[in-house]
């Protein structure tokens, strides 16, 4: 991440999630604001050890104002529950952009840039031990890594958020919906391995 974003992160330390959310609700920094029903800021435990970052809101998220509530969201909830993680108790979920891109396309670079301060502010306010980068857009937007998820998943990655915050790239649940096989070597198989690694890391952090 470049120096400008690092400076933005430092400046965001004093901002609370509540004030950030209010700012987002009134944001018109990019053209996505013109097509939204409402913003989708994020939800979950603001004191969570884990922050999960997705790409952007879909239609149901735009209608409800909540992240990951469609079919992909239901699958994500089940995946988290498989390693005893509850959305409202153990994790905070947000997206790279806070408004729905048209036709659920990937957000454009200028849209990601317009929202970057909000995302960095969320990370600064929560101070997670672990960041799950859900999909290639999140991986590239947060860490600047354009490598396919299949090449980096399962690895603990350093972040610019301090030595106490690690990241892992995971498959987006919408990708898993398109690839339902659970056979060894399949995306769902690797997701299960990654969730077990997440649970082990959380257990080790609690033991310290």
pLDDT tens for each residue of 172-191: 999 999 999 999 999 999 99
Q: What is the mean pLDDT of residues 7-23?
A: 68
Beta strands in the chain (DSSP E): 43-44, 50-54, 91-95, 130-134, 157-158, 166-170
Beta strands in 14-72 (DSSP E): 43-44, 50-54
Closest CA to 59 of 40, 31, 79, 87: 40
Backbone angles phi and psi of 156, in degrees to 5 = -85, 120
Backbone angles phi and psi of 26, in degrees to 5 = -110, 15
In this prediction the pTM is 0.91
| pLDDT tier, 87 (very low <50, low <70, confident <90, very high otherwise) | very high
What domains sit in the chain, N to C, each tagged with a CATH number? 3-202 (3.40.470.10)
102 to 7, 108, 160, 197: CA distances (angstroms): 31, 11, 31, 35
Range 162-184 burial, b when 16+ CB lie within 10 A, else e: eeebbbbbbbbbbbbeeeeeeee
pLDDT tens for each residue of 140-154: 999 999 999 999 999
Q: Is the pLDDT of residue 3 over 80?
A: no
């Amino acid at each position: 991440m470049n120096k400008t974003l690092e400076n933005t992160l430092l400046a965001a330390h004093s901002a609370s999630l509540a004030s950030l959310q209010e700012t987002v609700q009134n944001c018109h920094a990019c053209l996505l604001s013109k097509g939204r029903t409402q913003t989708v800021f994020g939800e979950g435990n603001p004191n969570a050890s884990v922050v999960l970052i997705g790409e952007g809101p879909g239609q149901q998220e735009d209608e409800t104002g909540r992240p990951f509530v469609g079919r992909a969201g239901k699958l994500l909830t089940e995946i988290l529950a498989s390693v005893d993680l509850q959305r409202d108790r153990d994790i905070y979920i947000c997206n790279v952009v806070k408004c729905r891109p048209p036709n659920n396309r990937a957000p454009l670079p200028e849209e990601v840039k317009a929202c970057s301060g909000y995302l960095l502010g969320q990370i600064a306010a929560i101070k997670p031990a672990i960041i799950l980068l859900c999909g290639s857009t999140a991986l590239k937007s947060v860490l600047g890594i354009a490598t396919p998820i299949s090449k980096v998943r399962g690895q603990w990655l350093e972040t610019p958020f301090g030595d106490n915050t690690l990241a892992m790239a995971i498959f987006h649940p919408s990708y898993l919906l398109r690839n339902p096989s659970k056979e060894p070597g399949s995306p769902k198989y690797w997701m299960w391995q990654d969730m077990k690694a997440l649970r082990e890391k959380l257990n080790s952090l609690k033991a310290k």
